[in-house]
Structure 1
Amino acid sequence: MQDRSWTAERLARCGLPHDDACALCDQEEETMQHLLAGCSFSRQVWHEILGWARAPIGLPVPDTPLQLWWSSSLDLVPASMRNGLSSLIILSAWWIWKHHNTCIFEGARPSITFTSNTIKDEAHLWAKAGATGLQNIIPGA
């Protein structure tokens, strides 16, 4: 949210070597906004995770800053879901970023299934560790 992540856009601004295309979809220039909201890969992950959690919100909007989508999404859900939804959004964004880095630095192939399953597994672990908000929204918690 503070534009400090080393995406291709930031590497270019600093004059560092980089590939312009998104490492997850290879379709557009890699910016943080694209990576978390506009990327076809990420949008499929968001669809899977938000559907799994039965979150009554839409997907992130490619042209809307992620933090604005996040805050407006919290306004759409009951108060009892807000902490859990925030945790799930943070967790999902983090794992999309981690998978992006695995693709770049370890040569992994982008996998929606792996990323979605990892987010679900982590959400269950967070719920077991006491994240009560997540316990309210994820199945089987």
Structure 2
Amino acid sequence: MDYSPSPNSSWVWRRICKVKHEIAPGYTDGIWHQQEGFSSAKCYDWLKGQAPKMKWERVVWTGWSFPKHNFLGWLWAHEALQTKSKLLNYGVVDEDTCQLCGMGSENQEHLFFDCPYSRRVIHKKLSDAKGMDIPTTNALEWCVNRQGSKVKKEVQYAMVVCVVYVLWQQRNTCRQEMVLVRPEWLAKRILNDMKARIRERDKSHLSIFYMEWLESKNLM
């Protein structure tokens, strides 16, 4: 505990050594007293403390989504996507007009669910998927409070997260390359992504009822 790295040490080594000051309160006379025995996992749990389980974790980490969709959904749930309204607050951009429609402030709620372009994508997606529900406001709260069987809920979660992922990619393409595709094409891509994921997923545990339900929604 008395060791101090030299100023010439690498940043990584100095950061590793700094950890000892953060875990020092967990020791008394050189003995780790917060939990029985010591391990890096137990130390990490002790440092981060007890956090409530997030209600939306089942929404963004569903196995019916591609991992890349899951990750972006996690950023969306944390409101961590760098929308123009957020960049404006950082002083990075001069205005926050929505990149997709040119109307309204580009925050997450507008970009994914209030934007006229996004709504056209969702409307087209609803018809392609034969009645699959996709909310156009408070989507995360809607998903958390969704009722129904586990399979149907998780497929629905995957659909919402896929919509977020594809719209975010289109927003970035439009921002970087000034290319905005037709909403019908984007809706088709969402449907194809969902089909690709569902087809590669192990469905041996599903009953005939759910297999027929997926087919009825044009997801097989």
Under a length normalisation based on structure 1, what TM-score does the superposition of the two structures give?
Answer: 0.82
Of 116, 141, 158, which residue of structure 2 is paired with 1:68?
Answer: 141
**2:46 aligned with 1:46:** no
Measure, in 1, the Cα distance between the counterparts of 2:132 and 2:96: 34
Name the count of aligned residue pairs: 136
- Kept after mapping to 2: 8 A contact 1:7/1:30: yes
**2:183 aligned with 1:112:** yes
- Kept after mapping to 2: 8 A contact 1:36/1:96: yes
User: Which residue identity does 1:11 align to in structure 2?
Assistant: L
**Structure 1 residue 110 displacement after superposition:** 4.3
Measure, in 1, the Cα distance between the counterparts of 2:186 and 2:105: 21
When residues 131 and 29 of structure 1 are mapped into structure 2, their CA distance, relative to the original with a 3 A threshold, is farther
**2:173 aligned with 1:102:** yes
**Structure 1 residue 3 displacement after superposition:** 1.7
- Kept after mapping to 2: 8 A contact 1:24/1:110: no
Which protein has the bigger helix share? 1
Q: Which consecutive aligned stretches of 4+ in structure 1 deviate over 6 angstroms post-superposition?
A: none
Measure, in 1, the Cα distance between the counterparts of 2:139 and 2:134: 12
Deviations 1:85-107 (A, max 9, x none): 11111111110111111100111
**2:195 aligned with 1:124:** yes
| CA-atom RMSD in angstroms | 2.4
**Structure 1 residue 48 displacement after superposition:** 1.8
User: Which residue identity does 2:199 align to in structure 1?
Assistant: K
Secondary structure of residue in 1 paired with 2:140 = helix
User: Which residue identity does 2:98 align to in structure 1?
Assistant: C
Unmatched 5+ stretches in structure 2:
1-76
- Kept after mapping to 2: 8 A contact 1:8/1:18: no
Deviations 1:42-70 (A, max 9, x none): 11111222332234536322xxx331122
Determine what percentage of the aligned residue pairs are the same residue.
18
Unmatched 5+ stretches in structure 1:
none
Measure, in 2, the Cα distance between the counterparts of 1:96 and 1:52: 17
When residues 108 and 39 of structure 1 are mapped into structure 2, their CA distance, relative to the original with a 3 A threshold, is same
**2:197 aligned with 1:139:** no
* Larger gyration radius, structure 1 or structure 2: 2
Equivalent in the alignment of 1:93: 164
- Kept after mapping to 1: 8 A contact 2:100/2:115: yes
Measure, in 2, the Cα distance between the counterparts of 1:112 and 1:3: 24
When residues 10 and 96 of structure 1 are mapped into structure 2, their CA distance, relative to the original with a 3 A threshold, is same
**Structure 1 residue 127 displacement after superposition:** 1.3
Under a length normalisation based on structure 2, what TM-score does the superposition of the two structures give?
Answer: 0.55
Q: Point out the more displaced range, 8-17 or 122-131.
A: 122-131
User: Which residue identity does 2:118 align to in structure 1?
Assistant: S
